[in-house]
Structure 1
Amino acid sequence: MTRVAVVGCGSIGTRHIGNLLSLGVSDIIALDPDSGRRDCIHQQFGVKTCEDEEMVWNYRPDVVLITTPPKLHLELAISAARHGCHFFVEKPLSDRVEGQDELVEICQSRSLITMVGCNMRFHFGPSNVKRLVSEGVIGRPISASLDAGQYMPDWHPDQDYRKRYSAQSRLGGGVILDGIHELDYARWLFGEVAEIFCHGGKLSRLEIDVEDSANILMIFKTGISAMVHIDYIQRFYSRSCKVIGEEGTISWDIHGALKFFTAKTGKWEVVEPPAKYTINDMYVEEMRHFLSCVEQDEATISGVEDASKVTRMALAARKSMLNREKVLL
């Protein structure tokens, strides 16, 4: 039976603990320095809790889930790797380039199974956009637009948004790293990126010290271009994707179905989500995939080497925004 340590018991750590239990993983210890969070986790799930990292390693876990603020991701991932643990780390892999190569080398030398959170790849929408593109339904892709945004104070109305890691540069916040999902699945759809240009910054009246809006133009090595918009501002939660091909168009919106138009049929066709589909389904499938890869000793869909490339894309976008110039990758 797999022994799992979850490091960080905020909202996403709590979600993963619940999903681990639903997938039959019961040997769990949860680490958080906040006693209130530890008490809530123990009361809600009945799992063991601890308050410092040394107690985690004494527990000798097979697998570690790292669900802390981004500033701590890389340090904890390196520590897990050095202890010989397979690990899942939430996105982004890091808020800096330094140390990523070291992590990749340790994981490769120890043949560790790793995964960086990429839950949108497991969502009904983007996963079917990927399928349709791969099947050539719209011919050769030419361009795409991806959008994601939601007013930060609405994420967790019972909490002070100013205290969230997303709102603080010292914790690795900012919409470019926080909204890395769109960059990740754009690369998943179209391959490696050749150049990036980003315009954005702190544009709203939110009381945060990080960028809250970014428009990122990505030029892929295949010649495809994609415009990614991400923000902390939209009062109505938005997430969508449109791909234009030589023979048709794919359109997806998180509040509706996925549809595609082809020149061959001359009409739109709709792909409906499964009955009773919920947002948590993608997190369950993401964790199921990771645990299966650990059990089968197979590479995951987004290991640290792959995720490092996406993180470098995001950091290049931030550099472009600050310097107001194109960045070559």
Structure 2
Amino acid sequence: MFYWSYHIIFMKAEMKMKPIGFGIVGCGFFGGEFARLLQEMEGARVAAVQGGSGKSARAVAEEIGCGFEERLEDLVRRDDVDAIVVASPNHLHREPVLLAARHGKHVFCEKPVALSNEDCRDMTEACRSAGVRFMAGHILHFFDGIERVKRWIREGVIGRPIAIHSERTGWEEPKPDVSWKKNERESGGHLFHHIHELELMLALMGAPAELYMAGDNVAHRGPGFGDEDDVLLLTLRFANGGFGTLQTGSGFRWGEHYMKINGTEGAIRIDFRRSAVELRKPGERTVSFGLHDEPLDNEERIRIYEVMDGGVIYGDPQKRPPAFLQTAMRREMRCFLDAIGGKPIEDDKRALFDGTGALLSIATASAAMSSRRSGVPQQVPIVPDR
């Protein structure tokens, strides 16, 4: 522990004199964009990228003018790499996080952090023991409208939250090539791969005491499809006495993407399709504003939803993310960069760094999938306060 403490102090002193060097693991839709954003960010520099097949990673390395490493071990051993961004497929997060921690590198890990409680605990504990920063990549916390919603709830604007409901549903047609994102062993299925809404529900309502989930693959079997469930219906009873429901999957011809939070004194609706947030309170005028601060970001988001079915969408590694995602990703990387540099972490972002956000969301998703398989309600393992 003394060695790691000395190592981190030495790293911080060096970082004040030179940009923080980043290594990127996985250069698909998000990983490639993180590399581009960091290369342009003050105080940061991408030293090298690494990718399994090498095609996307090599292309990104050539585009932004950084190094390329074929082997993960070579990336984490580089002296010019201070931090690792893990954006590989969901089932390939554990090894790079553990290797990065072992070599004293700070870690940002894309959602879902892991596909099992054991892996998530091992990853967070490895970073804690090594004395390095570990940040979970839950991007919704960097949408301007959602930050305001969280502040309203903390300040009691809608009273005590008592019921929350979220839908992220749509319909998918068969694909000529079945991506890893459609196979449950690699992606975790819809609940894990689209864990954003579940994680936000937990951030707003607290830990669940018990849950039950029903689901199946009812309409997407055979060629052109993976093996994940296409209809998932989750009910939660929170420890604070509130309740929640969530619907997700690709088996819904009437697609939706929204969240409603009902409190004892008011209600909030987050409409992802219309890129809008609304606050309603008895006897008061409805408050409404964009999900993003930039009007063009809201307009772009609305246009995208006009040509897609509901909230089921997957990024194309051959294309750059839309501007509204780039804005949030840039803020996300700035938050990570500042934390590495020793700046205070904002209160509403602490759960992204102390392990509780990652551990609670993975524990809840794991319990939900266990309930889906067993057909009986499940309790969620207690996540200790950090």
* TM-score normalised by L of structure 2: 0.78
- More off after superposition, 235-244 vs 278-287: 235-244
**Partner of residue 286, structure 1:** 332
Q: Is the 8 A contact 1:116 1:304 kept in 2?
A: no
1:261 pairs, out of 271, 277, 280, with 280
Q: Deviations over 1:41-72 (max 9, x none)?
A: 13332222121112202323210011111111
* Distance in 1 separating the partners of 2:361 and 2:27: 25
The amino acid that maps onto 1:141 is P
Q: Name the counterpart of 1:114.
A: 134
Question: How has the CA–CA distance of structure 1 residues 211 and 235 changed in structure 2, closer, same or farther, with 3 Å as cutoff?
Answer: same
Aligned length: 323
Q: What residue number does 2:241 align with? A: 223
Q: 2 CA distance for matches of 1:235 and 1:18?
A: 36
Residues 241 and 79 (structure 1 numbering): CA distance in 2 closer, same or farther, change over 3 Å?
A: same
**Are 2:341 and 1:295 equivalent residues in the alignment?**
yes
Give the corresponding residue for 1:248: 266
Identity, in percent, stands at: 24
Partner residue, 2:74: 55
Please tell me whether residue 126 in structure 1 is matched to residue 163 in structure 2: no
Distance 1:212 1:47 in 2: 40
2:55 corresponds to: 36
Q: Distance in 2 between matches of 1:327 and 1:79?
A: 33
Residue number in structure 2 paired with 1:318: 369
Say yes or no: does 1:88 pair with 2:119.
no
Take 2:255 and 2:100, find their aligned partners in 1: how far apart are those partners?
35
Q: Which runs of 5+ in 2 are unaligned?
A: 1-18, 298-323, 381-386
Whole-Å Cα distance in 2 between the matches of residues 161 and 127 of structure 1?
37
Instruction: Report matched runs for 1:132-143 at 5 Å.
Output: 132-143=152-163
Aligned to 2:321: none
Q: Which amino acid aligns with 2:28?
A: G
Deviation at 1:324, TM superposition (A): 1.0
Please tell me the residue identity of whatever aligns with 2:375.
Answer: R
The secondary structure found in structure 1 opposite 2:153 is helix
In structure 2, the CA distance between the partners of 1:251 and 1:263, relative to structure 1 (3 Å rule), is same
The Cα RMSD (Å) is: 2.2
* Paired letter, 2:50: L
Partners of 2:173 and 2:130 lie apart in 1 by: 42
Residue 236 of structure 1: how far off its partner (Å): 7.8
Equivalents in 2 of 1:120, 1:185: separation in Å? 7
| 3-state SS, counterpart of residue 45 of structure 2 | coil
**Matches of 1:233 and 1:22, distance apart in 2:** 40
Distance in 1, matches of 2:92 and 2:46, equals 24
SS at match of 1:196: strand
For residue 309 of structure 2, what is the aligned residue in structure 1?
A: none
Partner of 2:191: 176
With over 3 angstroms needed to count, the CA separation of the structure-2 counterparts of 1:125 and 1:192, relative to structure 1, is: same
Query: Match of 1:224, as an amino acid?
Result: G
Shift of 1:186: 0.7
Contact 1:29–1:56 (CA under 8 A) maintained in structure 2: yes
Q: 1:161 to 1:227 in 2, by over 3 A?
A: farther
Offset, 1:269:
1.6
How far did 1:109 drift? Answer: 2.2
Q: Evaluate the alpha carbon distance shift between residue 131 and residue 32 of structure 1 in structure 2; reply closer, same or farther with a 3 A threshold.
A: same
Q: 1:31 to 1:198 in 2, by over 3 A?
A: same
Aligned to 2:28: 10
**Cα distance between partner residues in 1 of 2:344 and 2:375:** 41
Deviation at 1:212, TM superposition (A): 2.3
Distance 1:135 1:176 in 2: 30
Kindly provide the amino acid, as one letter, of the partner of residue 338 in structure 2: S
What SS does the corresponding residue of 2:198 show, helix, strand or coil? helix
Distance of 2:173 and 2:71 partners within structure 1: 30
SS in 2 for 1:27: strand
| 1:138-177 → structure 2 map (5 Å cutoff) | 138-151=158-171, 160=176, 162=178, 164-177=179-192
2:202 is matched with: 187
2:355 counterpart residue number: 305
The answer to whether the 8 A contact 1:148-1:238 is kept is: yes
Matched, 1:78 2:98: yes
Letter in 1 for 2:112: P
Contact in 2 for aligned 1:153/1:161 (Cα 8 Å): no
**Judging changes above 3 Å, is the alpha-carbon distance between structure 1 residues 153 and 77 closer, same or farther for their aligned structure 2 residues?**
farther
| Distance in 2, Cα, partners of 1:33 & 1:103 | 21
Please say if residues 198 and 214 of structure 1, whose CA atoms lie closer than 8 Å, have aligned partners that are also in contact. Answer: yes
Contact 1:196 1:317 in 2 (8 A): yes
Residues 145, 241 of structure 1: 8 Å contact kept:
yes
**1:271 matched to 2:317:** no
TM-score by length of 1: 0.91
Structure 1 residues 48, 64: CA separation in 2 closer, same or farther (over 3 Å shift)?
same
1:160/1:21 CA distance change after superposition, 3 Å: farther
For the residue of structure 2 that corresponds to 1:9, the secondary structure is: coil
